[in-house]
Amino acid sequence: MGALFKLHKHCLQKKHNQYDSSSSKTYVSNGKSFEIEYGDGSTLTGILSEDTVSLAGLDVTSQTFAEATKEPGSDFTSEDFDGILGMGYKAIAVDKVTPVFNNLYEQGLVSENKFSFYLNRDESSSKGGELILGGTDSSYYTGEFSYVDVTTQGYWQFKMDSLKVSGDDTTFCDGGCKAIADTGTSLIVGPTSEVKKINKAIGADETTGEIKCKATDLPTVTITINDKEFKIESSDYILEQEGTCFSGFEGGDLGDIDWILGDVFLGVYYTVFDFSENRVGFATAA
């Protein structure tokens, strides 16, 4: 039997809890070491362990996971989260460990082999985002989903057709490019040379991305995926931090991937990640 379960955003943000295997009756020692090298050259190291992992009242048994023993930088001390829950394909999991969601489905704890995200980017709202395990929640979107096939089963990668800024003749991602949908990325990230031109076109500083907070009549950015247009308005792509506003577009070297559609995009479009059909679907967030 399976059902639809939800994991609320605030459940993911308890500060600095730590796993203690000596306090668990279901812990199984693995002992294999692991390491993850980040883009800046730093490395996180630790050991693999096995235990029952509980999510939204669902108990995933015999789940292998990584215990970090050496953490570079300050992310795990300065941020609210205690760890990272990978939701991509098994192909990119460290040591090919089966991810939690795949075990959720294989153990019959959810009925559908898919999950979805609603991201509420309004920090003043009492309702945060939700990760829905095993399906979608129609109260969080309007209209129908538009789907695109996954082209590489690692990250949730697909073909993006193009990106255009209204009032500008340039077509970015011209002829199509490789993109991923990623809730772990706050912005929309693309090739530095193209993002500089996008920032200029929307009235932001080409290099820093700084933009006027109360700017009006700024252009609409249209991203086309599988012949469907997804519009991003200035209210979506202007981000304020401590009184200064920045563009939601950032340049970076992404290796084999051209664009990352992060929270600036996913906050506007409710997203379902469908393992059963190997596709990603977008619908307008309610």
User: Which H or E run contains 228?
Assistant: strand 228-232
Q: Domain spans of the chain?
A: 5-111, 136-285
The answer to whether the CB of 67 falls within 8 A of the CB of 27 is no
Give the pair of three-digit tokens for residue 267.
Answer: 């906050």
Q: What is the pTM of this model?
A: 0.90
pLDDT, one tens digit per residue, over 218-256 is 999 999 999 999 999 999 999 999 999 999 999 998 999
pLDDT for residue 75: 64
User: Which H or E run contains 199?
Assistant: helix 192-201
Domain 5-111 sits in CATH at: 2.40.70.10
Q: Which CATH number fits domain 136-285: 3.40.50.150, 2.40.70.10, 3.40.50.1580, 1.20.120.330?
A: 2.40.70.10
Grade residue 266 by pLDDT with cuts at 50, 70 and 90. Answer: very high
- Calpha distance 168→65 (Å, rounded): 48
pLDDT for residue 2: 42
Identical fold, 5-111 and 136-285: yes
Question: For 220, which DSSP code?
Answer: P
pLDDT, one tens digit per residue, over 56-93 is 999 999 999 999 888 877 666 677 778 889 999 999 99
Can you tell me the mean pLDDT for 18-44? 88
